[in-house]
Structures are given as C-alpha cells and as structure tokens.
C-alpha cells in the first residue's frame, strides 16, 4: 500500500476575487522510505503541494490518502493530531519559537502529546547529541546561526518519530556548505530511521540528492 496517494488534486486561491489555480489535477503516490524532491520554478505550486499533502492546507478538489485513509474528510482536530503524530515539518524560515531554547523547541511537540518531562528532556538531549548540536541545548534562536537553527528545526521535526517529514526549501537561507551538511543529516535520518522525506526545492544541491524527482510547472505535473 502507498504511504500517501493523491487523486485529482486541485487547489484554487482567490486573489482579490480572481481565481488562481495553484494546483491542477495532481495524481501522485509516495512509498515509505522515499527521499523525494518536488522541483520547479518559483510559482509552480511546490510549496502549495507540500502544504496540501501535509494537511496544513485543504485542497479545493480531490482526495489525499494516508495509508489508505482519506484525510480530506477528517475534521480539524483530527488533522491536528495527524500532524502532531505522523508528520514532521521543516520550513525555509526555521519557525522556531524565539523565546524558547533549542531543547525547549524540540520538547514542545512532545509536551503537547503529554510525554513526561524527564522523558522529553532525555529524548531531546539524545537527538541534539546525534545531530552534533548538544552545546546549543540552552541557547535561543537569536544566539544561533541559520544552519544551527535549521538543525534544531530538523530535530523538532523528527523527535516524535514521524512517518513523513515535509521540508519546504530547507536550504534556501543557507550557504552551500551548511546546506550540504544539513542534507547529509537528512539522508542519514532517511537511511537509519526509514523516515520518508518529501522536499520542495529549486536548489540544485537538493535536487541532485533526490532518489526521485517530481517536476511541477504552472501547478501541473511536468511529465516531459
């Protein structure tokens, strides 16, 4: 069974009353353990597709199946639980909580799941050590470099052992060396933990690492 499958997926936005078709008739399937990049020029619909598949946004038409279950019919509370338990997210802008330290940012989603403090702290420290940023545990985001913040964001994304990590332009604000190290880390997580990674990117460094490449153009799959 496919881990995720989309059927006839459309997404239309309203721009001052004018409909804009961001996605048109997207039919895709993803298997467990993929390291897949969705690529295309700016405005092609990459981020929109990631957000819709990741249940951050609702499609206008079509269906999304997670392990055979249609998530487009789930209620908001069910989708929140799904994102918390099954999905991890890494964003271009890091999206760390500025008033929390690195370890508190990582612990936050575990706290929402009701995991005891001692277990949260132990797991977060172990992950920080694994990602070679244990020395940043008690620093806040404004005390870290972009690459360090993105590593903390990756730790936060994988701490609840998600089945899928959605990474939206994760290297966009990083230099090529730092971006390469981040991709090394994600490849290791994919290999060692069998976490499925789905990226949106137009960074050649990311595209070259893809085990599978999906091309979008003007909201449609580019099958050329």
Residue 25: the pLDDT is: 94
Structural domain contains residue 28:
yes
192 part of a folded domain = no
φ and ψ of 183, to 5 deg = -65, -35
From first CA to last CA, the distance across the chain in angstroms is: 27
Interhelix angle 102-112/146-158, rounded to 10 degrees, is 20
Residue 112 in any domain: the answer is: no
How do residues 72-123 score in pLDDT, each as one tens digit? 999 999 999 889 889 999 888 888 999 999 999 999 888 888 889 999 999 9
Confidence grade of residue 224 (pLDDT, cut at 50, 70, 90): low
- pTM of the predicted structure, to 2 decimals: 0.90
State the CATH number of the domain containing residue 8.
3.40.50.300
39 vs 47, 117, 150, 189, CA distance in Å?
Answer: 10, 40, 20, 21
Average the pLDDT over 58-85 and give the result.
92
For 41-57, the pLDDT digits (tens) are 888 899 999 999 999 99
Q: For residue 76, is it within any domain?
A: yes
Banded pLDDT at 131 (limits 50, 70, 90): confident
Could you tell me the residue range of the domain that residue 18 belongs to? Answer: 1-85+200-224
User: Based on the structure, what is the number of domains in the chain?
Assistant: 1
Task: Strand 4-15: give its sheet, edge to edge.
Answer: 18-30, 4-15, 61-66, 69-70
Residue 193 in domain: no
């Amino acid at each position: 069974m496919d881990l995720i499958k989309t059927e006839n997926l459309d997404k239309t936005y309203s721009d001052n009353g004018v409909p804009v078709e961001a996605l048109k008739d997207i039919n895709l399937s993803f298997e467990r353990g993929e390291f897949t990049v969705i690529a295309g020029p700016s405005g092609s619909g990459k981020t929109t597709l990631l957000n819709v598949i990741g249940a951050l946004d609702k499609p206008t038409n079509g269906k999304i199946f997670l392990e055979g279950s249609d998530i487009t019919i789930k209620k908001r509370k069910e989708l929140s639980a799904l994102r918390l338990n099954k999905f991890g997210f890494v964003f271009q802008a890091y999206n760390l909580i500025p008033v929390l330290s690195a370890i508190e940012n990582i612990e936050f989603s575990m706290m929402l799941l009701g995991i005891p403090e001692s277990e949260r702290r132990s797991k977060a420290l172990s992950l920080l050590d694994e990602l070679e940023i244990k020395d940043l545990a008690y620093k806040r985001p404004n005390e870290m470099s972009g690459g360090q913040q993105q590593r903390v964001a990756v730790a936060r994304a994988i701490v609840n052992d998600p089945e899928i990590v959605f990474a939206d332009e994760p290297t966009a604000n990083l230099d090529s060396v730092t971006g390469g190290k981040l991709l090394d880390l994600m490849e290791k997580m994919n290999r060692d933990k069998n976490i499925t990674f789905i990226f949106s990117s137009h960074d050649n460094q990311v595209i070259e690492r893809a085990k599978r490449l999906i091309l979008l153009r003007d909201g449609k799959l580019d099958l050329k």
